[in-house]
Amino acid sequence: MAKLNIVKHGDPVLRKVCRPVDEITPRILTLLDDMAETMRDADGCGLAAPQVGILRRIVVIETEESGLIELINPKIIARAGEQREYEGCLSIPGKSGITRRPMHVTVRALNREGKQVEYSGSGLLARAFCHELDHLDGKLYIDIAEDIQG
């Protein structure tokens, strides 16, 4: 595994829409492993492929409650409730802002074996799903945040 360079705010790659993954190759599996290592090393709870300069629809998320979740071509299929919490981003170090996100989210994606999976989460995990999937469409939390600090 290798630690990847995290792209910082201002790099145009963060504003691009990512392409779907058509085939899960050894290169995609290595990317998943490297993204997880990079996320952990940076003390984050989520990382999307464009944050490491790769325009593919791939996300890794890890919270205490969920363990490691790997998502390929993810889509949010259900949302409920609302939460307002501080959010930050590994691509925008030293800043945070309050965002409005759903309290509960269900995501459908492929796993590393190419099988369709669904994950549901509340609170932090729901926020992480929304935040990371926004990255795949070139959106950043600062686009919707209030009271940005740092």
Beta-carbon contacts of 56 under 8 Å, excluding residues fewer than 6 positions away, are: 18, 19, 20, 21, 28, 31, 49
Beta strands in 7-142 (DSSP E): 46-48, 58-63, 67-80, 83-89, 92-101, 104-110, 116-122
pLDDT digits (tens, 9 = 90+) for 8-23: 999 999 999 999 999 9
The two tokens of residue 40 are 């952990």
Identify the active-site residue in 62, 70, 87, 132: 132
Whether the full predicted model's pTM is greater than 0.75, yes or no, is yes
Q: Where are the domains of the chain?
A: 12-149
The verdict on whether 132 is a catalytic residue reads yes
The 3-state DSSP class for residue 44 equals coil
Tokens 């363990």: give the residue.
Answer: 67
**pLDDT bracket for residue 150 (50, 70, 90):** confident
Beta-carbon contacts of 36 under 8 Å, excluding residues fewer than 6 positions away, are: 1, 47, 60, 62, 68, 70
pLDDT digits (tens, 9 = 90+) for 38-76: 999 999 999 999 999 999 999 999 999 899 999 999 999
Superfamily, domain 12-149: Peptide deformylase (3.90.45.10)
